[in-house]
Amino acid sequence: MTLQDDITRSAATIRARAPQRTPRVGIVLGSGWQGVVDHVDEATAIAYTDLPAFPAVGVAGHAGQLILGRLGGAEVAVLAGRQHTYEDGHADAMKGALRTLAAIDVKTLVLTNAAGSLNPAMGTGSLMLLSDHLNLPQRTPLHGEPGSSRFVDMRDAYDPALRRIAQEVAKKMGKALHEGVYAWQLGPQFETPAEIRMLRLLGADAVGMSTVPETIVARHAGMKVLALSLITNLAAGLDAEPLSHAQTLAAAQGASASAVRLLEALAPALA
């Protein structure tokens, strides 16, 4: 079986299990964003294990389910969990899942993550809209892709019109929504203080271990992308608190309700 065969089978399974659903917005949930699932109405859940193009999920806080239904009244396909490049070294782990969304006619992809802040003014619990990214590992999920379409224009990787919509929604809610550059680090280890100083010099505002490969896949598939970071900590050297995945999850849980409310309000505006 090829990846395209797996995508075709996955799309057929989704249509068979949820024939009434016509999502145009896809959402990938990172750490701290899983509460979105509880706000999806008329939900149909499909385990990733039933979808051959979808990855195995092995990180705490990632459920491994596709949820189809309505969020804020908008038809959505929610990916509750992602596989990270640090799990097996491959940047294309989410390629099959995202191409399956494109195959069922999803047009807009919302990527969410937990991230560390490089700006002391953007503290724990803040939300940041990605304006651009730094692909520091210089890994790509497009290795082996044929033809000229592999040369994807990343100039507006995070769609300017969608970012304006997000800012308008946040403003109406009275919610501060920072905007900045996200630096992708491979992980799973956290950065050193020296690395954080380097990232600040390069113009990064937040740092994390996901999102960039999915953005590349989505743009290659013709989807528009919006991405949001939930700030769970100040990066190494900016705060005395030791960094750990448990600390990330705890901080994300504490700020989750605010993040979920924004995404619920944003979904119909994107659709």
**Catalytic center residues:** 31, 62, 84, 86-87, 114, 209-210, 233, 245
Handedness of CA 150, 57, 261, 251 (dihedral sign): negative
> What is the Cα–Cα distance from 66 to 79, expressed in whole angstroms?
5
Residue (of 265, 268, 7, 219) closest to 107 by Cα position: 219
Angle (nearest 5°) at CA 9 between 39 and 2? 125
Cβ atoms of residues 100 and 226 within 8 Å: no
Cβ atoms of residues 110 and 26 within 8 Å: yes
Cβ atoms of residues 86 and 35 within 8 Å: no
> What is the Cα–Cα distance from 209 to 203, expressed in whole angstroms?
17
Q: Which amino acid is at 156?
A: D
